[in-house]
Amino acid sequence: MDLVVAVLFQLIYVIANLALISLGLAIIFGMMRVINLAHGEFLMLGGYTVVVATNMGINIWVSMLILAPLVVGIIGVIVERLLIRWLYGRMVDTLLATWGLSLLLVGIVTSIFGASTATTVSPPLGAVRIGAYSASGYELFLILITIALLVAVWLTLRYTKLGLLARGTMQNAEMASSLGVSTSRIYMITFGLGAAVSGLAGGLLAPMTGVLPTIGATYIAKAFITVISGGASILAGTTVGSILLGGINGIFSFIAGSTFGEIALLLAAIILLRLMPRGITGRFFRKSL
């Protein structure tokens, strides 16, 4: 029984982890159709924000939940104003531009912190007991905050004026502009929010993974696979894609090790996109967000 609880907990954690690292990309790529190859670096910057702020004596919860999304969100707004705003509708150009941006960010961070040693911060929570099973309290916290974040983004897009304007602008920018909507401002805010969510994810994961200038490379492939496999509906697609691919990854990792888990995730995504080229929500959950 303890083994079953342990396996289920780790499986849920893997799924939540995948959803957490993918949500920011789902907003920027799924909604805005910007191929953001600097997504992993936004996560990395969130992690370094937590490390630096914590070393300066700032409370780790403030660092993770406030400073990380705030700092990376501001960086995202600056990137959108200086670079991305000129490239909407040109997906290949956004790919090249954000690839160059990712190299620039890695180079800057490497010159400041060095490249060889992972910078770490201790998890703020200890172990908790689930029946007779002892689990990481911080992993449980990450599961709960991922659920809360998905719900918060859904509520924002579904029920707020900003969410309505963002969805309308992304669907038909010319019509939104003709109705008096400042589409340039909506694009800026949406990109900034996507970057802020990525920064939050990177900050939350920093105590579990440590931070390196090149750690973004470990995030970017999984995030793109999840978002593309999920399809056009950013929240439903990210959630269902995370459950399916994260579940496969977790099961095979438990059976055969983490390397085989990563291989199984990739093969599952290839088969899924071969059978459903538009992703899961291209066939199911078409009217969902």
Residue 98, in any domain of the structure = yes
Whether residue 98 is predicted with pLDDT greater than 90 in this model: the reply is yes
* 266 contacts 222 by C-beta, under 8 angstroms: no
The count of structural domains within the chain is 1
Give 96's contacts (C-beta < 8 A, 6+ positions apart).
none
Per-residue model confidence (pLDDT) at position 237: 87
Q: What is the DSSP string of 30-42?
A: IIT----TTHHHH
pLDDT of res. 2: 62
**Is residue 144 one of the residues assigned to a domain?**
yes
Domain membership flag for residue 119: yes
Provide the pLDDT for residue 265: 87
Using the structure block, give the residue that is written with the tokens 């991305």.
84
Instruction: Print the domain residue range for 18.
Output: 2-210
Nearest-angstrom CA–CA distance, 198 and 83: 18
Q: Give 144's pLDDT tier (boundaries 50, 70, 90).
A: very high
Per the domain annotation, does 203 fall within a domain? yes
Strand partners, 129: 134
Helix axes 234-256, 137-159, angle to 10 degrees: 160
Closest CA relative to residue 22, chosen from 236, 253, 225? 225
Give percent of the chain with pLDDT exceeding 70: 95
Q: Note the pLDDT tens digit of each residue in 146-172.
A: 999 999 999 998 889 888 888 888 888
Distance, CA of 154 to CA of 239 (rounded, Å) = 11
In a domain, 279, yes or no: no
Local confidence band at 283 (pLDDT 50, 70, 90 cut-offs)? confident
- Quick one: which of 38, 108, 32 has its CA closest to 76? 38
Give domain status of residue 273, yes or no: no
Percentage of the residues of the chain whose pLDDT score is greater than 90: 40
First CA to last CA across the chain, in angstroms?
A: 37
Categorize the per-residue pLDDT at 281 as very low, low, confident or very high, splitting at 50, 70 and 90.
Answer: confident
Q: What is the amino acid identity at position 156?
A: T
> At 261, which helix (H) or strand (E)?
helix 258-275
pLDDT at 117: 63
Give dist(CA 272, CA 188) in Å, integer.
33
pLDDT at residue number 83: 92
In the numeric block, which tokens belong to residue 80? 């959108």
Asked if residue 224 is part of any domain, the answer here is no
User: For residue 88, which amino acid is it?
Assistant: Y
This model's pTM is above 0.85: yes
Q: Provide the sign of the torsion angle of the four alpha carbons 270, 145, 79, 104, taken in this order.
A: negative
Gap between the Cα atoms of 133 and 124, Å rounded: 20
For residue 236, pLDDT over 90 is answered with no
pLDDT digit string (tens) for 3-22? 677 778 888 888 999 999 99
Both tokens of residue 200? 């939050």
Q: Per-residue pLDDT averaged across 98-109, rounded?
A: 94
Q: Summarize pLDDT for 72-93 with one digit per residue, the tens.
A: 999 999 999 999 999 888 888 9
Q: Identify whether 238 is part of a domain.
A: no
Query: Which pLDDT value is given to residue 5?
Result: 72
- Is the confidence at residue 1, as pLDDT, over 60? no
133: confidence class by pLDDT, cuts 50, 70, 90: low
